[in-house]
A and B are shown apart, each in its own frame.
Chain A
């Protein structure tokens, strides 16, 4: 028998009021429970007693209204339906009663009335077949109103009654069950899921779904088989237990009236399900665990050319990537341009220029089978670009080169001539907004100084020769002064950005100072179609106010705890029944699956349904059956010898006047080994 892993929650009992919603006496299910039947295979009908008797007497009670009145004006038949894909059960019954009219006091027809349907057979205990709430019912009839009531079971209120929402960052280490519990909280219907569940790594951003819809959707990839439980709650069968279950009853020809067999019609014999899985670098992440750590990946490219002066050049570019993030780039150029100097020297191919860019990221720990590893996040913290080229420092005294300049050395040589360092800072989680960018440029320079050293270009400078120093620094700060201001009666958001430029400037002597300080303030109302931009320079050289269409430009955000990752395409293809049916392809995608195993699960589940033979069996009713139960059937005419299938739909029908209590069940017999 399938074991059940329950969802428990408080909502379902809170939502239904009324005296003794569960009845003052619990349904006697021990004598009719499917677990009493079965064992390893064939049903022992003697255990189940009166429900299997060829001759039996069937009764029914319908309790209706807030006081659960045992109503007596029932007509026709009472029907209850349970089916796969819809968690709650539905029931219908017909009532001849003055309270079926709307304007009568204590009217039943306004909807939302509690209803219980109890069934019994012979002298055995009653079975609570249904409990739920009615929908509004129309009525007709000239003398006394007659109405057909439709009711939906109590689980509907908490699985479909409200919608929820949830957002979660990628790689948060949460399971779908955790997330579903939070989602249900947001819908106002808290629940606890005890079923096994996988840790996911993709981002989650869901809204507008009901709890039931999300249960069904994630149940596909998790292998959950969801149905309403006997007490009106929701229960989940895990896939392994479902697939290994033995039939709870064997329908022999004395236990059913008729069988209709529907074979699959042009079933898909090749089912392909595609999806994406998260990957860090080239390695997939499954259940929050990185399969293995990428070694650094080196990509190289080379080119050669001849310039207009006839000199030969070559350029090699090397990019090193690890965990999907660029670690460094190096561009190395060689040429046979003569070495500059007092007398240029003709040389062969020599290094001419090398540019190196190194990237530094904030890191986050990701699990590996062998232990954790630090991988880059999206928060780039520093870029250092260093350029080395052939150079000799300009000097007030020294060697006079062929180009007329005076240099410290006789010839140029490779040295670092430029370094640009860009640093980024970020705010703390959860905002993680980029708060500043600072670009510092260093190069060889010598500030102008009136009484300094004379240089051949006619300038006077502070030092005898050029030195490697910081020559500029630009700093931008973003939204450091973001604030929310009550402007009159309207809420307004202001984002303040400052940009400063520091460089060598001034006359007659240069000093390293701030030459520009610009403040830009964006302001606007949340959700507005325009916003105002006010720019103010420190020297008042630019001061403007303008109205700009669209929303404000917000600072960029990069999560501190999310690694740089990509989504790899994956597909799973299942071939079935190829020896019987021609090739028919089915293509589907599943955005929730994160592993091949989950894609396979989805594909097999689709195959079990689409490629199945369906038997519709009319039989005397059995009270304990539920959807997803396994039942076997014997029918010699169809060569069925205890052939097992799972229940896809049950419709119970009790004819109140003539006593017949029957059911139509749809059994799904999936292909072998699916």
Chain B
């Protein structure tokens, strides 16, 4: 399915869907990679391979959410998240792609349509946000997900010629970083919230 830009669903955080859409969302991926120039100018790029089956450019996400005005229920939900700290589940229903050098590996996160409780899934999530695999020839790769491991990663096997690209909607496991309520007007309450992927 073609990727549609933007956030088109409610944010899922800490077991609830926030009814208020954030005014800004920033998802930065800190890639575990170092690049240096060799003596002849060749670019040497070393990426971390933190676990067996990791993708070619492993990363961890840092998410920053800004709300100008929240509903009372959302305020309670955010306060609960801040008070407990985490880890919590977070999903913004955005697409993410991981590439693997072999026909199989371990996705760094969980597949959201499979893991988010049904009562909080967007309509037709299984179809609209179905995981897609593509092999090196551009052909479809059949990706079979295994059970999530204790690190909230998802092993999988795939068909086709490596490297395999897997496009999916990740369910992040996050902890609260910085947070702050914002009172731009006396009768309104917003918040800024920073989340770091565990």
User: Which residues of A are in contact with B by a Cβ distance under 8 Å?
Assistant: 54-59, 120-123, 252-259, 620, 635, 655-662
Contact = CB atoms under 8 A, between A and B. Distances in A.
A656 B32 CA distance: 8
B38 A255 contact: yes
A254 B39 contact: yes
A123 B44 contact: no
B50 A59 contact: yes
A659 B49 contact: yes
B38 A253 contact: yes
Chain B binding surface SS class: loop
B61 interface: no
A58 B32 CA distance: 10
Nearest to B56: A57
Given A54-B45, A655-B34, A659-B33, A123 B39 contact: no
Contacts, number: 79
A173 B120 CA distance: 88
Interface in B4-61: 32-34, 36-40, 42-52, 54, 56
17 contacts: A54-B42, A54-B43, A56-B46, A59-B51, A253-B38, A254-B38, A254-B39, A257-B36, A257-B38, A259-B39, A620-B46, A635-B39, A655-B48, A657-B32, A659-B33, A660-B36, A662-B46
A659 B38 contact: no
A130 B95 CA distance: 41
Contacts of B38: 54, 253-257
A659 B48 contact: yes
Interface string B60-93: 0000000000000000000000000000000000
A254 B33 CA distance: 19
Contacts of A55: 44-47
B181 interface: no
Contacts of A123: 101-102
A253 B36 CA distance: 13
A253 B39 contact: yes
A59 B34 contact: no
Contacts of B42: 54, 253-254
A657 B32 CA distance: 6
B33 A658 contact: yes
Contacts of B43: 54
Contacts of B50: 59, 656
Nearest to A55: B45
Contacts of A660: 34, 36, 46
A14 B59 CA distance: 42
Interface string B161-189: 00000000000000000000000000000
Given A256-B39, A257-B38, A656 B45 contact: no
Contacts of B34: 655, 658-660
B44 A57 contact: no
Contacts of A620: 44, 46
Contact of B40 (A56, A254, A662): A254
The 6 A-B residue pairs with the shortest CB-CB distance in the complex, in nearest-first order? A659-B48, A59-B49, A253-B40, A660-B34, A253-B39, A57-B49
Contacts of A258: 39
Contacts of B101: 122-123
A256 B52 CA distance: 27
B33 to A, nearest CB: 6
A597 B52 CA distance: 55
Nearest to B39: A253
Contacts of B40: 252-254
B138 to A, nearest CB: 22
A328 to B, nearest CB: 78
